[in-house]
Structures are given as C-alpha cells and as structure tokens.
Structure 1
Amino acid sequence: MDELYSMQEPLIFKLKSIIRFAVRLLAILMTLVILWGVIDVAWVLYSHLMDPPFMMLTISDILDTFGAFMAVLIAIEIFINITVYLQDDVIHVKIVMATALMAIARKVIILDFSKISSDYIWATAALVLAMSLGYWLILKWSEHEETKIKRHLAKQTMAHADEAEDGGHQQVSRKQ
C-alpha cells in the first residue's frame, strides 16, 4: 500500500505530472483573465467618463470601477496561489485565506445597501468576522511555528558552539 503513495509508483508519477500540467495551464489562463480584466477596468472607466455628464463619475460609477479593480486584484491573488502551488507543491492556507478576504472585501465595497436585506448584511458581516478571525489565527499559528523553529535553530547553534569550545579546551589541555 505504501508503494501506491510513493513517487516511484509509475501511475502516481503520471497522475502528478498531469496535475502539474493542468496547474500550469491554469496559470496561463489566469494570466489571460488578468489581462482581460485590466482591459475591462479601462473600458468601464472610459465608458463611465464618456457618459453624460461628461468626465464626471457618479457614486454608482465609482462603485462599478472599484468592483472591476477588485476583480482584477482577486485574479492576481489567485494567480499567486497557483504559482506558489507550482513552486512548493503545497496549497498555502494563509494565501488562500487572504484571497478569500479580498473577495469578501470586494463584495462589501460594491454592496448597494438600498437593494439588499438586513439579513444579507448580517450574514456578510458574520462571514467577514469569521474569515478575519480565521486569518488572524493562521497568522498567529505561523508566527508561533516560526518562533519554535528559530528557538530550535538557536539551540542547535549554541550546542555546536559549545561543542566547538569544549573541543578547543580539550586540545589545549592535551598540549599542556
């Protein structure tokens, strides 16, 4: 059974190769989405500026523009998720949570409070709170893990320094 999960297993190796190819294809497609998104942002801004009143943006126009901007930023975050996965072969929860928070922020920014119910607002607030708390906990856990690693490395360094120092004293005492 362990052979099934081994990188030496030909089937698993081929399947992982297919997945890596698919992820690379997703990165290419996401790059195209980002470029089209930038063109869309420019088009949205241009069309709103050309509509009467000429060269003036209404609050609705600004919110539309913000929504288009945020969509591109979310696409960039997703692209970063893809490239990090390609580099590390691991999905980083912190980056995924940050992307999700950005998507929620986009939704909050473009909300038209005159057209939604209070239940929707409360649900969105609960989601923002839960995601923010989750992100904060992940950051704290990451900091804790980094601190543990630094302490471990410092102990190893001190142990090696002590060994080197003890070895030096033993050599001096042998010479005497």
Structure 2
Amino acid sequence: MVHEELPRDYENKLISKLHVVIRGSIAILAILMTLVIVWGVLDVGYILIMKLLSPPFLLLSVGDIFQLFGTFMIVLIAVEIFINIRLYLGTNVIPIQLVVATALMAIARKVIVLDIEKVAYTDVLAIAAVVLALGITHWLIVRDH
C-alpha cells in the first residue's frame, strides 16, 4: 500500500497509528463493497427470474427492463467504486478520470431510470447541467492524456 498521505512511519506516533487504522478501515470498505457487488449480482438474477416467471411468462415489460437496467447500473457503479478504493489503496495518484467516469455512470443510471412524466423540468435541467459538466470534465482529462 503506497498512499503517501497515510504513511506508516509518520514522525508523530499517534498519527502513524491513526494512519494504520484508516488504511484498515479502507480495506474493510473494499471487503464490504465486494459483498455489496456479489449481493447486487444475486439480486439482479433474482429480479430477472421472478419477472420471467410471473405472468405473462418469459416476457418482460418495458418497465421491467428499465428496472433491470437500473439494477445493473447500480452493480456497475459499485464495481467502479471498488476500483476507486483499490486504486486509492494501491497508488499515490488520485484516479480523477475514474472518479469522473463513475460519476458519469451514476448520472447515466439516473437518466436511464428517470420517469420524465413525474419530474419537474428544473430537475431535468439540473441533470442535464451535471451531465454536461461531467462530460466536459471527462473530455478535458482524457484529452490531456
């Protein structure tokens, strides 16, 4: 574990021990996120099976498909968060591009499952502004690499 902001050999012993606790806490978060991902995959499978087995058999409505898309996206976002945690623990570089990509995926999930008839136009404009800002940010980061 390389992260320079949390060195184990810090001059102050208390701070050094606190760094170890924080690193351990981040490792626990990674373990918990792995459990969330596995649980999410099982949940996607369960939802799909239940939807296919309920009348009309082996058919999915548009609403069912959107619900499944939303659940898939949540699991994929959890995977991205896990990768962020892993990179945070394993490098001394903040993975800005990955963080922005994760935010883009989260807002994309919101757009995919958004019921346009039930939200105010101001909410749609706010989501559009976030997508635009994140898209420009991602483009600027990728362009520089």
**Separation in 1 of the partners of 2:100 and 2:73?**
16
Report the counterpart of residue 162 of structure 1 in structure 2: none
Is 1:140 aligned to residue 143 of structure 2? yes
Find the partner of 2:64 among 61, 65, 69. Answer: 61
Report the counterpart of residue 79 of structure 2 in structure 1: 76
Given residue 36 of structure 2, which amino acid in structure 1 is its aligned partner?
Answer: V
Is 1:105 aligned to residue 108 of structure 2? yes
Structure ranking higher in helix proportion? 1
Is 1:118 aligned to residue 118 of structure 2? no
1:69-120 deviation digits (Å, cap 9, x = unpaired): 0000000000000000110144321111111111011111111112222221
**Separation in 2 of the partners of 1:35 and 1:22?**
20
Is 1:35 aligned to residue 35 of structure 2? no
Aligned positions of 1:13-52 closer than 5 A: 13-52=16-55
Given residue 30 of structure 1, which amino acid in structure 2 is its aligned partner?
Answer: M
Task: Flag as ranges the 4+ runs of structure 1 deviating above 4 A.
Answer: none
**Separation in 1 of the partners of 2:15 and 2:91?**
18
1:22 Cα deviation (Å)?
0.4
**What 5-or-longer segments of structure 1 have no aligned partner?**
144-176
Is 1:8 aligned to residue 21 of structure 2? no
1:51 Cα deviation (Å)?
1.8
Given residue 43 of structure 2, which amino acid in structure 1 is its aligned partner?
Answer: D
**Separation in 2 of the partners of 1:123 and 1:47?**
35
Q: Percent identity between the aligned chains? A: 51
**Separation in 1 of the partners of 2:121 and 2:12?**
55
Match of 1:52, SS? coil
1:9 Cα deviation (Å)?
2.5
1:139 Cα deviation (Å)?
1.9
How many pairs align?
A: 138
